[in-house]
Amino acid sequence: MTSKSVDRNPNNVEQLYTCPTCGNAIAGNFCQTCGEKKLDRHDFSFKHVIEEAFEGFTHFDNKFFRTAYLLLFKPGQLSVDFFNGRKVPYMRPFQMFVICNILFFLLAGKVNFFAQPLSSFNDYDPYIQLGSKKIIDSIVKSEAQWQLLAVEFNERMASDSKAFLAIFIPVFALGSIGVNKNKRKFLAEHLVFSAHFFTFILIFYTFFLVLIAQPYAKLAGQGFNQTFDMVSSLFCVSIISIYYGLAAKKFYGANSLRVIAGSVSIAILFMLALVSYRMLLFYKIILNSQF
């Protein structure tokens, strides 16, 4: 007698597989609910693990550079695409900000525009007018003590100045609401636009610091120069304000008059926010110093 194999799936119905993530049935290779891939023994092979690692890296690499290109050369377009639902080709706004913040943290070193050495708070306005010198004089009683405090302060300023930059995003969002209050956009839209705008600032500053500011500091033999700081700050703020105007025109549909008003307002807001940020770091560091 010839044995016949039993067809356990006589109607050729595809076997269902339960998704390990959401618990729903998977009919194909991917879950229709959450997108989880159906598990296969091939997934555990060494070759597959290597292939997946390279695929993940190149996928991230492509998304990052594609997003950075749009941020740098097409102001406002990334925010427009995001709210039009075109999200897959690019990195998410706050994900891109975090990555650029990390890159800025690694590449900026001790010379960056969000930080100032202790000597600036002791010698220059507007910090003196805000009371920084009085606080320093109440702490420092000798030249030796000044040297020790300066070393500790400058080290902490270099690191702390790059750790709290996310605070600029809601500041710029409030500024954009004020300038474009007639556009009736949700708060989330202003925040995303501000995240993209400030991420551009981080990318721009990273290039400027690595290519101009740091080489200048090494050639000049000093970490800070008031004239260079003033000139470079004016140059950078000019670039930032022009970029904001172009981005706002694209995202908010602002007319020429509002673009100019917005650019000037954001430039002033940025300078005020920058000085305030430096002063907040000054108080944070000086009040927690060993002196």
Helix (H) / strand (E) containing 25:
strand 25-26
Q: Does 179 score more than 90 pLDDT?
A: no
**Least trusted range by pLDDT, from 20-29, 208-217, 265-274:** 20-29
Q: Show the CA angle centred on residue 166, arms to residues 164 and 172, nearest 5°.
A: 130
Distance CA 145, CA 131 (A): 20
Of 57, 49, 17, whose CA–CA distance to 36 is shortest?
Answer: 17
CB count, 10 Å around CB of 120?
A: 19
Q: What are the boundaries of each domain within the chain?
A: 17-44, 93-287
**Residue type for 283, please?**
Y
Beta bridge partners of 35: none
pLDDT of residue 290: 67
- 3-state helix/strand/coil string of 57-72: HHHHHHHHHHHHHHHH
Q: What is the pTM of this model?
A: 0.76
Concatenating the DSSP letter of every residue in 202-256 gives HHHHHHHIIIIIHHHHHHHT-S--HHHHHHHHHHHHHHHHHHHHHHHHHHH---H
Task: Provide the pLDDT for residue 7.
Answer: 47
Q: What is the mean pLDDT of residues 105-118?
A: 79
Cβ atoms of 284 and 161 within 8 Å: the answer is no
The full DSSP string for 125-142 is: TTTTTTTHHHHHHHH--S
Calpha distance 214→224 (Å, rounded): 10
Confidence (pLDDT) at 199: 96
Give the list of residues 6+ apart from residue 17 with CB closer than 8 angstroms, or none: 25, 26, 38, 39
Q: Is 229 exposed, middle or buried (0-12, 13-18, 19+ CB in 10 A)?
A: middle
Specify the pLDDT at position 6. 46
Cα(290)–Cα(118) distance, rounded to whole angstroms? 15
Averaged pLDDT for residues 75-89:
92
- Segment 21-29 mean pLDDT: 76
